[in-house]
A and B are shown apart, each in its own frame.
Chain A
Amino acid sequence: MYTIVVENLTKKFGPFTAVNNISFSIKKGEIFGFLGANGAGKTTAMKMMCGLLLPTSGTAKIAGYDLATQSKLIKKNIGYMSQRFSLYDDLTVYENMQLFGTIYKIERKTLKQRIQDSLNELNMNEFSNELVRSIPLGWKQRLAFATALLHRPQIVFLDEPTSGVDPIVRREFWGLIYKTAATGVTIFVTTHYMDEAEYCERISIMAEGELKLIGTPTELKEKMNVQTIDDLFVKFVNR
């Protein structure tokens, strides 16, 4: 059962084609790595899938809803966390979670319970009333992830979620991702860390707006006759 079905999605900015006719499908609960060099069109593709940008042509079904006509239902069913940490610095941990939870119209009592649960799970109770500005980056990333999950979305889009944090935090973060995927949430993640690509069930590589490769890490390495994803990436992007 596919939860994301993208067909011939294209985005043009004037004469420039940022995303050129890409198609792929992602299964429910899958961890899907979306790789590509800077400027390859990843962010544009992702923005279209989240309903932030209108595609020039092509269609997509996200969580079973049509991109063109049901964007509100899509928004309800997806979560998003960006490469640049994007919660409010001058709000406390609790206030940030409460804000986003209320925006998604989660009932008050339920929201309170969910916030408490995520804080417990992340061991972040002590930070609850701290301004987000004052907590370490690694914690901020985990907080952003937990916030993106508050409304229990079917799919989470993670845009370079681990950029700028140390290896230990990155590993812990991937622990969270696995845990979440195990509950049936589909993870769509972009990254520049090739070791992280190995953690994904399937990956795709984008270059010049086109989707060049898609498959499991092992499959792709064998097919292209390389030892690591790193080599695969370099080989592909330089071609």
Chain B
Amino acid sequence: MKAFLAILQKEFIHILRDRVSLFLVLAMPIALILLFGFTISTEIKNAKISILDQSKDSQSKQLIENITASGYFQVVNFLDNEAEIDHDFKHKQIKIAMIIPPRFEESLAVERIASIQIINDVSDINIASILNNYLRAVFNDFVTEYNYQNHASENLISIVTTMQYNPELNSVYMFVPGIITLIMIIITALMSSITLAREKETNTMNMMLITTVKKINIAIGKVIPYMFLSLISTIFILLISVFVFQMPIKGSIWLLLFLCIIFMFTAASFGLLISAVSKTQLDAMMVTMMGLFLPTVLLSGFLFPLDNMPLFFQWLADIFPAKWFIIAIKDVMLKGATFMETGKYLLILTGMSVVMVGFSLSQIDKR
């Protein structure tokens, strides 16, 4: 134990004396969150829309008025037939089109359900899904209003969905969980495996291995300080999100931190595993980037919605812990999920952590 503590102390000294790296590690999350928060905005205003109104009754006109009034859409064309939709996508730069079928008002009043068709330009999936959500929000308001005025309660538009979480689709809220995930992986997995590989390169690793200290202690001693650092970074990110970008944390902050700590162990076990297989710093970097960083960016639902991916990739995403972590902390932050409500994700994450930690520890003791 004393030997282990000595190693731990040494690792902390390494980190504290390497001022440049320390600064980078602590500044990186801050820079990332500010960058994402201020520059990347998924809010879209005045998106061009074409509408084919086949009803032309008072309710359909009311609906169109609501769409215009929402501020998100600018109606560029009222169409006469469906064939024109394609033309508008190609030549009028519309982002979305909408068809109100005949008998809209009648359907609402008699059948209590009216359907509306939305045509998306899916060449940009993100914009499409955002606009889709805007439209759904408008429909929703419209139906609520209609029901209120007609003292009805069950009328529906068939594509209506609710948007009670992050209704403005404020982008920074979406990025915070992703950034926390990336930071955890960069600091805990990448930094620890790189510095361990550096010791192999400078031969200090041999010096350590020749002593009586256990390999596992060397590796764990390496990872723990970086786990601390990543936790500090996570707290920075949360502070900035809350105080600079007014992000609400609806759930328990302790639950949030608990989730982060569990994920930290998963990331740390990746770090151990990468350390075990890589001989040089370059190896460690490449393995982390290709094997961990890219899948996390691409398959965690952080930047690209998973729902739109081919089934195979959705399955692939399921086996990466990042996806579950992001879902869980989104639930806690934006929906105020409780410990019980996140239970499923907690279980999945803990399970993955235990398996990963166990597996990587078993890899380390091989010569």
Point out residues on A near B: beta carbons under 8 Å: 50-54, 72, 75-76, 78, 80, 82, 84-91, 95, 98-100, 102-105, 131
B17 to chain A, nearest CB (A): 5
By a CB distance below 8 angstroms, the chain B residues around A51 are 210
Expressed in whole angstroms, the Cα–Cα distance for A54 and B365 within the complex equals: 13
Can you pick out 13 interface pairs between chain A and chain B where the beta carbons lie within 8 Å of each other?
A51-B210, A75-B210, A80-B210, A84-B202, A88-B10, A88-B14, A90-B18, A91-B10, A98-B6, A99-B10, A100-B207, A103-B6, A131-B17
- Measured between beta carbons, the chain A residues less than 8 angstroms from B9 are 99
- Expressed in whole angstroms, the minimum distance between the Cβ of A93 and any Cβ of chain B is 13
Among the listed A76, A85, A89, which residue makes an inter-chain contact with B212, where contact means beta carbons less than 8 Å apart? A76
Chain A minimum-CB-distance residue to B13: A91
B367 contacts the other chain (Cβ, under 8 Å)?
yes
CA A167 to CA B202, docked complex, whole Å = 25
Please state if B204 and A88 are interface contacts (CB–CB under 8 Å): yes
Report the contact-size class of chain B (Cβ under 8 Å from the partner): 20 to 34
Does A72 contact B212, Cβ atoms closer than 8 Å?
A: yes
Q: Are A82 and B6 in contact (CB under 8 A)?
A: no
Give the chain A neighbours of B14 by CB distance below 8 A: 88, 90-91
Alpha-carbon gap, A89 to B9, bound state (A): 15
- Contact (Cβ within 8 A) A84 B212: no
Since A90-B14, A103-B3 are in contact, a sample of 14 more A-B pairs with Cβ atoms closer than 8 Å, ordered by chain A residue number, is A52-B367, A78-B210, A80-B206, A82-B203, A88-B204, A90-B13, A91-B10, A99-B6, A99-B10, A102-B6, A103-B211, A103-B212, A105-B2, A105-B3
Q: How far is the CA of A47 from the CA of B17 in the complex (A)?
A: 32
| Whole-angstrom distance between the Cβ of A86 and the nearest chain B Cβ | 4
The answer to whether the Cβ of B319 comes within 8 Å of any Cβ in the partner chain is: no
Which residues 225-274 of B have a CB within 8 angstroms of A? none
Which A residues touch B202, using CB under 8 A?
Answer: 84, 86, 89
Q: Would you call B316 an interface residue if the criterion is a C-beta within 8 Å of the partner chain's C-beta atoms? A: no
Chain B, residue nearest A77 (CB): B212
Q: How far is the CA of A87 from the CA of B207 in the complex (A)?
A: 8
Knowing A86-B203, A86-B206, A103-B7 touch, does A54 contact B367 (C-beta < 8 A)? yes
Interfacial chain B residues near A82, Cβ < 8 Å = 203, 206-207
A85 and B3 CA atoms in complex are apart in Å by 22
Name the residue of chain A whose CB is nearest to the CB of B214.
A72
- Smallest CB–CB gap between A194 and chain B, Å? 25
Residue of A nearest to B217 (CB): A103
Residues of A with C-beta under 8 A to B203: 82, 84-86
Contact partner, B206, options A52, A90, A100, Cβ 8 Å: A52
CB distance from A154 to the nearest CB of B (A): 14
Complex interface: chain A residues within 8 A of B206 (CB): 52, 80, 82, 86
User: A100 contacts which of B2, B17, B18, B211 (Cβ < 8 Å)?
Assistant: B211
B193-223 toward A: CB 8 Å interface, digit per residue (1/0)?
0000000001110111111110000000000
A98 to B17, CA, bound (A): 17
Candidate in A51, A53, A72, A86 with the most chain B CB atoms within 10 angstroms: A86
Q: Which of B2, B204, B210 has the most CB of A within 10 A?
A: B210
